[in-house]
Amino acid sequence: MALTETTVEDKIEVVGDHKHVQVRTATVIARDGAEISRSFHRHVLQCSTKSGDTWADTDISSESTEVQAICNAVWTDAVKTAYQTAMDAAEI
């Protein structure tokens, strides 16, 4: 009776005006090839992060190549500027 554990990004979504990227990762436990358990973890990526008064592009180097490609495609300069402007306005 062999147990195996695999992890797979099974859902990647782009949401909202500021193109947040949601990533769902599934951890699958199988016994002799038959799935017996599945659990999920989610995380959300924003196009920019702020430290003090300085904005920087979000570091996506630790993400999968598929997530990186999606982020690079949807996070245009216009999207980043709109997000930063909205977040700065919300700091009031």
Contact (CB, 8 A) for 24 and 41: yes
How would you class 71 by CB atoms within 10 Å of its CB: exposed for 0-12, middle for 13-18, buried for 19 or more? buried
Strand partners, 76: none
* pTM score: 0.87
pLDDT digits (tens, 9 = 90+) for 26-73: 999 999 999 999 999 999 999 999 998 899 999 999 999 999 999 999
pLDDT digits (tens, 9 = 90+) for 33-44: 999 999 999 999
